[in-house]
A = this chain, B = another copy of it.
Amino acid sequence: MKFIYTGIHVANLERAIRFYTEQLGMKLLFKTQIKETGGSVAWLRSKGSSQILELNWYPKKYRHGGTKGLDHLAFQVKDVDATYSKITRKFKGTIKPFMEGRWILGYVKDPDGNWIELGQLQKKTRKR
């Protein structure tokens, strides 16, 4: 299991990208729309670092945490179903594992209520 990135909410994606690139020297790796929600995400990284910052912009109905602050901490895992089942024996699950492109994603909450994304990368698309 590996902590791979931090996702934060932003109210204006372009404004936030400008801030993190122009003021803090990060590089924009990519920007994409999320088909399922109509939201947009951008990934940024500093030169010489593997720390990824994800900026998350959501349309109103998907704003589970407002327009600033932490959206989620993302962990890559080998088996989302197994990890999701294990964690939700003791902690809250929020979204059961589902497919999104080449990833299987599931969401749980940490003891303070922060969203944790569990992600499993599929080499080939599998049907669920």
Interface residues of A (CB under 8 A from B): 1-6, 8-12, 15-16, 19-20, 23-26, 44-53, 65, 67-70, 73, 75, 86-87, 90-91, 110-114, 116
Contacts and interface: CB of A to CB of B under 8 A. Distances in A.
Closest 5 CB pairs of A and B: A70-B70, A68-B112, A1-B25, A6-B6, A2-B46
A20 to B, nearest CB: 7
B45 A3 contact: yes
A53 B20 CA distance: 19
B114 A47 contact: no
A111 B8 contact: no
B67 A112 contact: yes
A51 to B, nearest CB: 5
A1 B19 CA distance: 13
